[in-house]
Structure 1
């Protein structure tokens, strides 16, 4: 087969990867010189711990397995099976961690409740004050700023992959009205060139207007903005990813009566509440720390970054590390696309559908909306597309 992939973020690149792995020829089209969106502006976490039970967890666990296999073949990805620790500081937070460990799928996630001393043995950089920690052994990390470049280098070595940057797809050609295409799917880019194949997959990320709205209409996907930062090297290993108990409030795996009690009895700090914050922290291969993040849902988004979130993060991180945070060198904002609906029969109101996958024309599929799951789940999302399309 010949597969056309539109979009060179991690979701699009993983679709290209699976197509090439299955023996097909791939043309990948990207409107920028390089992908510049949420696929780079994230933590690089393969984040199993907080996923909703059922399809979302199954997808994350399969993706974790795929990431490890791809990472063994492409060492430049920087895959590291580091796990995560979420230190807790009081009885309300501890109760949420205990409820998580009691889940029937806790073993699949690698959940374990550890004492403060055990947490420090796992991650000696955590010299601050806390009473216990939730350990998730299945969490991992890759290097987000370079992952697509490393994957593309491996794809190019196959001899069956072509990358076309700086081209924006403007039209999906209706092949039913064009006999010259012989039933093949096709798109036209802003250079006027037509690219045809046996299948077209549109992996457009947070680009939901223009062509996407024209061919798919209003889809149950929203855009979410976040702020993050990168520090100077820590000067010592941070051997796991680190989260704080505010992350319990934002991930569906932690929904429980204990979480209800936490929400009722322990308000977030004002800055954290105002910006819908949690702490996530991952060490990069150069020793620096990626820290964040905030959540902004209402349009129009702000165009600037503000300092309150960074001041809050600094306070929380220094409390866990027991030392000053290294100087922040980079600050940035990003926007990702997130499904807003839940699968039929799902409990609660938290959006848990992993991705929006829709056939929009004969031979043309739109795949978008993984939200904060994009880096985690992209290999399994692309694998499922490939399976469903019969690649």
Structure 2
């Protein structure tokens, strides 16, 4: 089973992983699962980047046909298998409903479910009554909903610690936080405390950190940084049994491209705030009952150091219209930055930058979804 920790009858190697986010941790999982020893270094006391500043969505339905969809489907299987072994991930196969509030949005969904790969994606168009049976919390006015049974969710703020606890139980894993790596050569990593770490393979999963050491080793990487804003409410007081999106999500995921989407973009432009901040509504309920709500997209650096209120007001209005009730009080707001391949048809940028040293970055908004499969594919490419 690809998602389980087990000893294989292959010669063990020592793998050094730089980066403590979900991508680095899934690489550690794959290496340990294949019988190898892993040392994972992270410059912060705990991962603080995009791996914890996200929805925790395992988002399959909107992925581009081909490699991206294949990667997401394989990752979805791995998340479920790993979740069975690591309950602390909070994995749940809750699916998602994209709520459609206009005939143009319904037409996009109709065109999407008519495609040959709709069943593979787990897509089905539901009427209002069917959608409310799946998710009774949807009391707002809408015309239909696109159901994706393959979508799932995990708890991003606790996923990495839960995975590390399982890895440590293997006896072949060492976690070294608070270690900023200063140099990388074949078989050796030196951190800012002067400690040298020896290994057979080095894998750099440094996320949106693309300067400094990464630039020295890899030069200019074909990856851009993307900034987003999100928020989280206090507990809703009832179950949101699926993740929820709105029709604006169609504009930002490649699976929905076609003549119906062209008509939506032409005849139903986004409100000014949503257009200016490249917004969609995504809502996921956390284990404590609160709602994670977002998001925005910004691509032009330098990014602002503060958050803007107008996008939050827009998200609140749309979420309340979908739920048909006021949101609970907003408990926290944040911004995050992730790394995305400039060629967005590429799921990840994976390259051996020096003999035995691999850089893996740029999954963009697919990092939480696809990281288990990306880690698996790296292990295969490296020959672990």
Scaled by the length of structure 2, the TM-score of the pair is 0.96
Partner secondary structure for residue 202 of structure 2? strand
1: CA distance, partners of 2:249 / 2:127: 19
Which digits, 9 at most, give the CA deviation of each residue in 1:182-201, with x for residues without a partner? xxx11111111111211000
1:89 aligns with 2:82: no
Q: 1:58 deviation in Å? A: 0.2
Match of 2:312 in 1: 310
Aligned counterparts, 1:114-133, within 5 A: 114-133=126-145
What aligned pairs does 1:1-391 form with structure 2 within 5 A after superposition?
1-173=13-185, 175=186, 185-341=187-343, 351-391=344-384
Shift of 1:275: 0.7
Indicate the SS of the match to 1:49: coil
* Structure 1 position 90, deviation (Å): 1.4
* Other-structure match for 2:9: none
Q: Deviations over 1:23-61 (max 9, x none)?
A: 100000000000100000000000001110000000000
CA apart distance, 1:104: 1.4
Q: Deviations over 1:70-114 (max 9, x none)?
A: 000000100000000001111111111111101211111100000
DSSP 3-state at the match of 2:336: strand
What is the CA–CA distance in structure 2 between the aligned matches of 1:263 and 1:116, rounded to whole Å?
Answer: 24
What corresponds to 2:5 in structure 1? none
Cα distance in 2 between the residues matched to 1:200 and 1:119:
47
Structure 1 runs of 4+ with >3 Å offset: none
CA RMSD for the aligned pairs?
0.6
Aligned partners of 1:52 and 1:219: how far apart in 2?
23
Deviation at 1:375, TM superposition (A): 0.3
Partner of 1:178: none
| Segment of structure 1 superposing worse, 27-36 or 186-195 | 186-195
| CA drift at 1:143 | 0.1
Shift of 1:271: 1.0
Structure 2: gaps of 5 or more residues: 1-12
> C-alpha displacement at 1:352, in angstroms?
1.8
What secondary structure sits across from 2:81 in the alignment? helix
- In structure 1, distance between residues paired with 2:189 and 2:37: 16
Quote how far apart the aligned CAs of 1:367 are.
0.2
Q: CA deviation at 1:290?
A: 0.2
Return the alpha-carbon distance in structure 1 between the equivalents of residues 114 and 218 of structure 2.
42
Structure 1 equivalent of residue 7 of structure 2: none
Match of 1:182 in 2: none
SS in 2 for 1:80: coil
- Gaps (5+ residues) in structure 1? 176-184, 342-350
Count residues with an aligned counterpart. 372
Mapped partners of 2:243, 2:298: distance in 1: 23
